[in-house]
Amino acid sequence: MNTIVLTVVLPLLAAFVVPVLSRVSPLLGRLLGPLTLAYAILLTLQVWLGMEGKPFSIALGGFQPPLGINFYVDRLSLLFTFLTLVTSLLLWPWRNETEPRQYALTLLLAASACGLVLSGDLFNIYVFYELISVASFGLAAATRSGAAFAASLRYLILSGLGSVLVLCGIAIVYLQTGTLNLAQLSQLAPETLNTPLGMSAFALILLGVGVKGELFPVNSWVPEVYAAASSRVSGLLAGLVSKLAVLVIVRLLVLLFQQESALQLMLILGLLGAISGELAAWRAKDMNRMLAFSSIGQLGVIFIAFSIPGKTGLFAGLALSLHHLLVKPALFLLAERWRGSLVGLRGAGLASPVAGGLFVLLALSLVGMPPLPGFWAKFLLFTGLAAQQSVIYQVALGVVLLSIVIEANYLFRVVMNLFQPAGDNSVAVTTDHGWLNLGTTFLLSALLIAGMLLMGPLGAWLEGVAMQAADPVLYFDTVFSVSAIH
Amino acid sequence: MRNLAALVFVGGLAFLLLVIFNQFDFAQAPMVVGQGILMDAPDRVGAANIVTAVVLGYRGIDTLGEISILFAASAAAGLVLGRRRTDARRDPPGGFILRSGVALLFPLMLVVGFYIILHGHLTPGGGFQGGVILAAAFFLPLLARPETPVNHAGLSIVEGGAGAVFILTGLAALLQGGEFLQPLLDNGVLGELVSAGTLPLLYLAVGLKVGAELAGLMARLADVEVDEP
């Protein structure tokens, strides 16, 4: 069971070793990263089969919580560990033969993402969050164009501000409670954090972590970075890193900040993000910017979903997150050869029908066309929102519907454009998408179809995951039963 | 207009933070974990410096994360700064005082750096502080003689090797049936140089890694091409 810590440690070890190994043997240097990730995936599956659905906690260094740091392993954290490793393997920078540093940074990103998901200690989560940030700065700048440097610099400054805000929030929590262990905090929170100070701590953490989660006021780095970074990095940031940030917030909401105002704050920011992101995407003139803005909009919808109280919100939010994690990287991979202005893409779908077809499928699922999985995720969101009494949730329902209409409008405009016969004035479009990108996109689309066919069992299983994650008492009992045994 | 908006934003944020910090009752904070560690640490870990017991024992995984952050920063900087043109102009060599000063200081700084690292479990200091001093020691000759070639291959071996030692020490505990990063070996006598189990070894790894990383980073920054006048 304690082998789960290897999913964090082995990629770190590989990252430290890979620059040296690449000097000795370039081939081994190229293979080390993917092999490590594949082995970590295997370990995750092993733990999954071994745990039989029951959460457990491991005390790192043998120091029992709350004095030491613990990893909390339930179905949710294991699911995201698995997804992190698989996504980093799929979006591995294969093409980059000469630069082992990029391998190292991708491995660091994967390791820290696993740590972030598993950790049961607030400050430890902050450390891994910082590691994700620093690794992603390097990856965003790796294309080494002027635009990439400018975009990364803006990203770095905003991220730095976010980190300071998170640290202030954590300091407030620590000052009020005297502990950083999430399980112990979940017990102390109803008395100590149910105050204006506790609320301000949540607001600071929400805004700080929200930088990576593309939350409304702190997302201005998104379009530039995604337009300038390589599409694999954009896919990682939009697909994976944003979800991890949301996951941190969700854990804190379940365990620490159960007051209604916390949910409402997140709901309002999510609403603003959804509407502003979709409107900006509607006006966008080039492919990557459009995808970036629409990602802001969809993350806004995910924040809305998680702000529905109780298990319903968690279930809907998880479904939307998984769907977005599958679809967005695939779209970014397709867009790699379709960079530049949307008008210039006239006829591109006719020129390469496979890529065009995949784009249509992904776009349809993103909008929420039944029976694709995107529809079921949005359906859960609607039923969850409609069941709430408060007016603000009814408003949210309207805003989400509006955002879907806008989204459908601009995505179909792009699709129409792709399949129109090329005019005389359009630039020559590439037909070659590269077998690697196309293959990865194909795999992701196949997963999407598989998800559609297995929607029944998948939904039931995901509901179980949400139910387990929504239970703070279970969290506390799991972490502290370990110390009782020892 | 933009400046004004920024000013309003910063002012508002400062006001908000002031209001928040005004709410604290300082010196009244609960010490749930702090007290626990103070009671528990001397017997469990055997480090005379309790801060080290926290940094490498109770929160060892945080420290692993922090050295990884430094590694990520240096890798990212290397990726951005890239390679230098061979014909680029270099800074002129330093004067006589700088050169002889460096020759004098270099061995002293090495000794102080390693002293601080190796006594990290006894006195204030440790791998991070000592590592920075080591990095400075290796950076000084570069200031005096900018044309000296930097052995980046050697630095990256030290960097990777030290990181690997830290992790492998942790994995050794896991293999012996304990948890990752559990301190191994005997605690020894509190306050002696050879005590606190594997903690001094971990600090040595941290020190070498921090030193090699910062030295490499500063060498790269110093190596950035000078703009032609």
Q: Which helix (DSSP H) or strand (DSSP E) does residue A379 occupy?
A: helix A373-386
- Which pair of tokens denotes residue B203? 């600090």
Residue A485 clears pLDDT 50, i.e. is over it: no
Burial class (CB in 10 A: 0-12, 13-18, 19+), A459: middle
Closest-CA distance, A323 to chain B, in angstroms, reads 30
Mean pLDDT across A353-375: 87
Give the torsion sign (CA, A466, A467, A470, A476).
Answer: negative
d(CA A2, CA A409): 49
Residue with structure tokens 């990752």? B180
pLDDT of residue B225: 65
- Residues of chain B contacting A150 with CB distance shorter than 8 Å: none
- Which pair of tokens denotes residue A33? 């990263």
Q: Where are the beta strands (DSSP E) in A400-482?
A: none
A295 close to A320: Cβ distance less than 8 angstroms: no
pLDDT greater at residue A420 or residue A14: A14
CA angle A149, A155, A159 (to 5 degrees): 145
d(CA B137, CA A243): 43
> Closest partner residue to A20 among B37, B60, B156, by Cβ?
B156
The two beta strands, A56-59 and A70-73, are antiparallel
d(CA A116, CA A248): 8
Percent of chain A residues topping a pLDDT of 70: 96
Residue B70 half-sphere exposure toward CB, CA atoms < 13 A = 24
d(CA A245, CA A168): 17
A249 close to A267: Cβ distance less than 8 angstroms: no
Across A180-189, A269-278, B103-112, B170-179, least confident range: B170-179
Residue type at A274?
Answer: A
DSSP A70: E
A217 close to A270: Cβ distance less than 8 angstroms: no
pLDDT of residue A484: 45
- Which pair of tokens denotes residue B129? 């502080």
pLDDT of residue A431: 57
ipTM: 0.90
Please state the φ and ψ torsions of residue A323, each to the nearest 5 degrees.
-65, -45
CA angle A257, A131, A12 (to 5 degrees): 120
- Which pair of tokens denotes residue B53? 């017991």
Answer whether B180 touches A (CB < 8 Å).
yes
pLDDT digits (tens, 9 = 90+) for A139-190: 998 888 888 889 999 999 999 999 999 999 999 999 888 889 999 999 888 8
**Contacts of the segment B136-142: beta carbons below 8 A, 24+ positions apart:** B136/B109, B137/B105, B137/B106, B137/B109, B137/B110, B137/B113, B138/B211, B138/B215, B139/B214, B139/B215, B139/B218, B139/B219, B139/B222, B140/B102, B140/B105, B140/B106, B140/B109, B141/B102, B141/B106, B142/B218, B142/B219, B142/B222
Q: DSSP string covering A170-191, please?
A: HHHHHHHHS--BHHHHHHHHHH
* CB pair distance less than 8 Å for B76 and A197: no
pLDDT digits (tens, 9 = 90+) for A385-399: 988 888 899 999 999
Across A128-132, A233-237, A330-334, B150-154, least confident range: B150-154
- Residues of chain A contacting B181 with CB distance shorter than 8 Å: 60-61
d(CA A387, CA A444): 33
d(CA A248, CA A209): 8
> What is the number of CB-based contacts under 8 A between chain A and chain B?
169
Nearest CA in chain B to A139: B76
Answer whether B157 touches A (CB < 8 Å).
yes
* CB pair distance less than 8 Å for B79 and A2: no
Domain residues of chain A, as ranges?
A: 273-453
- Residues of chain A contacting B25 with CB distance shorter than 8 Å: none
Answer whether B106 touches A (CB < 8 Å).
no
pLDDT of residue A483: 47
Answer whether B124 touches A (CB < 8 Å).
no
B144 close to B94: Cβ distance less than 8 angstroms: yes
Measured in whole angstroms, how far is the alpha carbon of residue B73 from the centre of its chain? 12
- Residues of chain B contacting A123 with CB distance shorter than 8 Å: 59, 62
A291 close to A226: Cβ distance less than 8 angstroms: yes
d(CA A315, CA A154): 34
pLDDT digits (tens, 9 = 90+) for A230-267: 888 899 999 899 999 999 999 999 998 888 889 999 99
A93 close to A138: Cβ distance less than 8 angstroms: no
pLDDT of residue A97: 57
Mean pLDDT across A460-464: 89
pLDDT-derived band at B83 (thresholds 50, 70, 90) equals low
Residue A349 clears pLDDT 80, i.e. is over it: no
Q: Which helix (DSSP H) or strand (DSSP E) does residue B95 occupy?
A: none
Query: For residue A392, what are the contacts with CB-CB under 8 A and spacing of at least 6?
Result: A264, A267, A268
